[in-house]
Amino acid sequence: MNVRCGGTSEAKDANEEVQKICDDMKSHAEDKAECKFDIFTAKSFKTQVVAGTNYFIKVHVGGDEYVHLRVYKTLPHAGEKLKLHSIQTSKAHHDPIEYF
């Protein structure tokens, strides 16, 4: 994996681990976006290694609509807890995942 210190990785296709993060964060994302999502499927993601890991995840939420999530995962000694940091709504499939 080619990651520069503090920078984000290249975008990768979502995997089972990233989908599980999305599943765990769905209700938090709905609270922040103030709406319900019928579909919540991870499509791609980037990571950023900090004191833990930031996940920037593109999520399909139905039709042509996507959201981007920023989820922080603590280090193993801190229990690998997940926290939804922020969400960007009204995204499209072609919108690149950027740091936010």
- Domain presence at residue 84: yes
Number of domains in the chain: 1
* Gap between the Cα atoms of 26 and 86, Å rounded: 12
Indicate which CATH number applies to the domain containing 39: 3.10.450
- Domain presence at residue 96: no
Which pair of structure tokens corresponds to residue 33?
Answer: 């976006």
- Domain presence at residue 52: yes
What is the tens place of the pLDDT at every residue in 40-72? 999 999 999 888 999 999 999 999 999 999 999
Query: What is the domain extent for residue 40?
Result: 12-91
Q: Tell me the pTM.
A: 0.87
* Gap between the Cα atoms of 16 and 42, Å rounded: 9
* Gap between the Cα atoms of 12 and 26, Å rounded: 20
What is the tens place of the pLDDT at every residue in 65-97? 999 999 999 998 888 899 999 999 999 999 999
- Domain presence at residue 3: no
* Gap between the Cα atoms of 27 and 68, Å rounded: 14
